[in-house]
Amino acid sequence: MNILILGSGGREHSLAWAIKQNPKCDRLIVAPGNAGIAEIAECADINILDGGSVATFAEENAIDFVIIGPEAPLALGVADRLRAAGLLVFGPSKEAALLEASKSFTKAVCDAANAPTAAYAHFKDADAARDYIRAQGAPIVVKADGLAAGKGVIVAMTENEALAAIDDMFDGSFGDAGAEVVIEEFMDGEEASFFVLCDGKTIKPVGTAQDHKRAYDGDTGPNTGGMGAYSPAPVMTDEITQKAMDEIIRPTMDEMAKRGTPFQGVLFCGLMIQNGQPRLVEYNVRFGDPECQCLMMRLGGQILDLLQACAEERLHEVKVNWADDHALSIVVAAKGYPGAYQKGTIIGGLDGIPEDSFHMVFHAGTTENEGKITATGGRVLNVTARGATLSEAHEKAYAMAQNIDWKDGFYRSDIGWRAL
Ligand code: AMP
Ligand code: GLY
């Protein structure tokens, strides 16, 4: 089978790494890829936001299966364009990707599905939004309606913060994403991420994880795309998992099917759990990054069979095989991230780190320059390890990270603290 993965992050490196282990995989191309991915697959420089270019490339290279990693191409309808060209695709349609691309859409679907989530109101007008905030008081959560690369959510602990967020959104700080806002009740509790595959009818859980959004130790500092993750999430007991399936995920998937826009792909459910009750924080229509790196380390080569069954609408035929193990991933970022940071600095020490089915350094923002690995992004490496216990995975990952010789990078020293 010839496989094309779209994306260039640690998520796509881990997908490529796991898929490569499956004997069904003959040729593996990742577009655009990165320096780490180039060590295990071919990389192709195509514009993954342009469905036409991807379809042409796939036809020219006899691709049998396209796996779409990030949300941006999904929200633009690249999956639809590829399906129209007769290709087998993993990833939701543009209509189904609204579950991530529009917060107000998701809220309306939750209303129709009667799924527990924060109370909310939706505004296209700044004055009405301000009035609502004054009436509700703080804490309160202000969200840009559209895709804002993880930056469109302000958890305001004071009314003034919430009002300032409204000013920013309607001033265009979030581009088109902020032209409409959703204002939500603040939910307290413990967060967890729950990943399920759905083929439009059947739903199969593929793992749980918890991540660390703040930049610095002790969950302090600015919000980021995620500074580390571990899987499984201890808070996701069997009972909570069942509730999340019965009360949130299945009703949502049924509602999407009822609307004539069934969801096919991986649904990333961000949950807030309090007093044994899960509530939906948000959906994403793709794997989380760095959560995916932990899931792939635990699932290995079977992921190809699962993604293929999902795309072929025969998820009911497959079984997810679980080992009773744990994985933990540490994000190594450029100093300054999530603010301004330097690009092009050289990273050493990677050759000395073991890479096998228990240890992997997945690359996120790297490129190779004259034989040297250089940093090109904010989040640069994902040092990932698997063990029989979370503390074993934690020890292994931190031992690996110590080998990295990169004075322009940093990482948190406490990934997994809550569960450890
Ligand atoms: P989102 O992009 O919707 O996942 O929001 C980013 C983060 O903001 C979440 O992971 C939560 O930590 C926080 N958050 C979002 N909505 C709420 C809410 N209604 N109550 C409390 N925290 C929230
Ligand atoms: N780590 C959170 C995300 O991928 O959105």
The pLDDT score that the predictor gives to residue 168 is 87
Q: Quick check: CB of 234 below 6 Å from ligand 1?
A: no
Sorted by where each begins, the domain ranges of the chain are 2-93, 119-185, 190-317, 326-410
Pairing of strands 379-387, 409-410: unpaired
Q: Quick check: CB of 289 below 6 Å from ligand 2?
A: yes
CATH number of 2-93: 3.30.1660.40, 3.40.50.970, 3.40.50.880, 3.40.50.20? 3.40.50.20
In this structure, the residue with its CA closest to atom 4 of ligand 2 is 288
Q: How many CB atoms lie within 10 A of CB 282?
A: 20
Q: Quote the pTM value.
A: 0.96
The pLDDT score that the predictor gives to residue 171 is 83
What is the residue type of 143?
K
Mean residue pLDDT across the chain:
95
Q: What is the pLDDT of residues 247-306, one digit of tens each?
A: 999 999 999 999 999 999 999 999 999 999 999 999 999 999 999 999 999 999 999 999
Q: Quick check: CB of 282 below 6 Å from ligand 1?
A: yes
37 alpha carbon – ligand 1 mean position (Å): 31
CATH superfamily of the domain spanning 326-410 = Phosphoribosylglycinamide synthetase, C-terminal domain (3.90.600.10)
Cβ–Cβ < 8 Å for 305, 87: no
Looking at ligand 2, which atom is closest to the CA of residue 286? 4
The pLDDT score that the predictor gives to residue 151 is 72
CATH class as words, domain 190-317: alpha beta
The rounded distance, in Å, linking the Cα atoms of 181 and 148 is 12
The pLDDT score that the predictor gives to residue 400 is 98
Mean pLDDT, to the nearest integer, of 316-322? 96
Range list of H helices, 76-230? 78-84, 98-101, 103-113, 126-136, 159-170
The pLDDT score that the predictor gives to residue 178 is 61
Which tokens belong to 13? 């490196």
Looking at ligand 1, which atom is closest to the CA of residue 143? 3
The pLDDT score that the predictor gives to residue 177 is 63
290 alpha carbon – ligand 2 mean position (Å): 7
Residue 172 scores a pLDDT above 90: no
Q: DSSP 3-state assignment of 397?
A: helix
Q: What is the pLDDT of residues 38-70, one digit of tens each?
A: 999 999 999 999 999 999 999 999 999 999 999
Q: Quick check: CB of 155 below 6 Å from ligand 1?
A: yes
The pLDDT score that the predictor gives to residue 353 is 95
CATH superfamily of the domain spanning 119-185 = ATP-grasp fold, A domain (3.30.1490.20)
Ligand nearest to the CA of 284: 2
Cβ–Cβ < 8 Å for 368, 374: yes
